[in-house]
Amino acid sequence: MDRSVVTVSHYAGRFKGRNAWLAIAVTISAAAVFMTDISLPLGVSQGALYVIPMTLSLWLPGKYSTPAVAGISVILVITGFFLSPPPSEPLTFVIMNRAYAIFTIGLVLVIERLLRRLSRQNRELSVRTGALEALYEIGTALSALSDTNHIREIAVERACRLLGCDVAALALFSESSDEVHWFFSQAGEERKARSFLSSDKLLKSLEAGAPVIIKDSSRETGDLLAGNALLGGAGLQSALAVPVQIAGKLTGALVIAYRSAQNIEGDSVRLMTALANQVAVAVNNARIYERLKALSTLEERQRLSRELHDGMAQHLGTVSARATAAEELLAQEKPDKAGQQLVRLREASEKAYLDLRQFMLGLRSDISESRSLVDALDKYVKQISQQEKMSIRLEIPDSANIGRLEPAVEVQAIRIIQEALNNALKHSRPKHITVKFNADNGWLTVTVQDDGRGFEMSEVSAAPGHFGLQSMRERAESVGGKLTIDTAIGQGTSVRVMLPIIKVGEQ
């Protein structure tokens, strides 16, 4: 009885709450089964009752709780065999009875092992599911960013959250200089950005493309952390660094570090590698986006230069020539002829003013999230009709379900239409202009038709300084379209452009 009290006290001191009551229940049930076992004659199947404390032990914490109860139960089954009253059944039956009890205990033990393995697999699955969800969240967040600074901040923050490190950092090599830009987050401090020269041992060790694991800097490869300008003075003991590669070239590194020694294993390496791959994609997209913006700006500058040279420069040249001629005629005391030059000067300046207004109107007719191609063009046509006092009709059949197109297609479409309208107003002297839309078989067809005087294509193509037709063709071809022009002297002009219909979200 004293031994039972000691056992109960031991379990009660070791476990708390529900676990303590379970331990007490296991102890009491094992003692009760044993007392029953030794008070009944051998051969009675009470040995199987040891399954009761075994089943209760399945809910006890600890790796060895159920095996310990199983071992004690087996000992009690064997002990009960010698302490029970003499049997009335044959001895072989009694032995089989006890063997059955031990076999049943073994089955419960096997069930416990299976439950423990299933629980461990569920935990691993839960961790991996959480990691996949986090990577999906990170990928979604990174794919929506076009700013490298935001990408670095998101990557560092999520690396800290996923792996619970003391310091996380992302290093990216500069595209234009021999520098590496570090962005890091340290516990208790605000996120910071710093730049250092790229001659760094830790980064150079990643050039082979394999992760670098430092489990204890006091014992192995401590110079990699100590020699790093950013991480060397932070008192870090272990770290994991994975390369950020774009097209097989080392572009940077994603690093997590701890102030204590850590057993960094495969799951952490795989998780960090996956995160680094997503960072590489996001950084590459951001850099491509920046290059496209620069190219777009350069292309727009070239377009403006061509249009200004083709229009305003000629007008200003005419104004300058007329003013010079009037000045010379006044100096020669020929006021009548000077007056004629001044009249022509006023006409040239008025034409330059109108062309400039038209040019500025075209620049303001941009497409935005709230204004589609049709909306922007409708507004532009109304304004240019009022300004030029010209009948310009926009025809869009109800069957043409245009909607919102891919941004590049919409931008090039409105610029081509504006250029065609400008050419018609400047050179063709029409009475009516019609802009027709049609959408069929994946193509958007826009026709700008006027009833003006027309022109000879061979003469315009050969004339220097006229870039309008070439610009329209280049714009159409840049988005996979094509442009055709049908014209003849005295028969008007028809500019027809076909552009691929790529709806937003279908790329």
- What's the pLDDT tens digit per position in 102-111? 887 888 888 8
Domain final residue, candidates 287, 311, 341: 287
Examine residue 404 and state whether it is found in any structural domain, yes or no.
yes
Give the DSSP letter of residue 334.
-
Nearest to 504 by CA among 370, 406, 410: 406
Per-residue pLDDT at 38 exceeds 80: no
Nearest to 419 by CA among 351, 355, 471, 352: 471
Residue 10, φ and ψ in degrees, nearest 5: -65, -50
Mean pLDDT of the chain: 75
Return d(Cα 46, Cα 36) in angstroms, integer: 8
The whole-number pLDDT of residue 37 equals 75
Residue 482 or residue 289, greater confidence:
482
- What's the pLDDT tens digit per position in 382-418? 888 887 788 888 888 766 666 667 777 887 888 888 8
CB 471 within 8 A of CB 303: yes
Domain holding 254: CATH number?
3.30.450.40
Query: Which of 26-40, 158-172, 225-239 has the weakest average pLDDT?
Result: 225-239
The type of residue at 459 is E
Nearest to 501 by CA among 427, 413, 382, 418: 413
Max mean pLDDT range (85-89, 278-282, 286-290, 466-470): 278-282
Residue 168, φ and ψ in degrees, nearest 5: -130, 145
Examine residue 275 and state whether it is found in any structural domain, yes or no.
yes
Nearest to 343 by CA among 329, 328, 322: 322
Return d(Cα 161, Cα 435) in angstroms, integer: 57
Binned at pLDDT 50, 70 and 90, residue 16 comes out as low
Same domain as 153, residue 121: no
- What's the pLDDT tens digit per position in 165-215? 888 888 888 876 778 888 777 755 555 666 666 667 777 888 888 888 887
The whole-number pLDDT of residue 503 equals 55
> Quick one: average pLDDT of 56-79?
80
Same domain as 148, residue 117: no
Examine residue 341 and state whether it is found in any structural domain, yes or no.
no
Per this entry, what is the length of the chain? 507
Same domain as 274, residue 219: yes
CB 194 within 8 A of CB 176: no
Examine residue 256 and state whether it is found in any structural domain, yes or no.
yes
> Quick one: average pLDDT of 229-249?
79
Per-residue DSSP letters for 439-490? EETTEEEEEEEE-S----HHHHHHSTT--HHHHHHHHHHHTT-EEEEEE-TT
> Quick one: average pLDDT of 433-445?
86
> Quick one: average pLDDT of 351-369?
57
Full domain range(s) for residue 237:
144-287
Q: Please enumerate in sequence order all residues whose Cβ is within 8 A of that of 383, keeping only pairs 6 or more positions apart, or say none.
A: 361, 365
Same domain as 176, residue 114: no
Same domain as 108, residue 212: no
Same domain as 165, residue 267: yes
- What's the pLDDT tens digit per position in 307-354? 665 566 666 777 777 788 778 878 887 888 778 878 877 777 766 666
Domain final residue, candidates 237, 261, 287: 287
Same domain as 148, residue 184: yes
Examine residue 433 and state whether it is found in any structural domain, yes or no.
yes
Domain final residue, candidates 97, 125, 153: 125
Examine residue 136 and state whether it is found in any structural domain, yes or no.
no
Same domain as 273, residue 384: no
Binned at pLDDT 50, 70 and 90, residue 12 comes out as very low
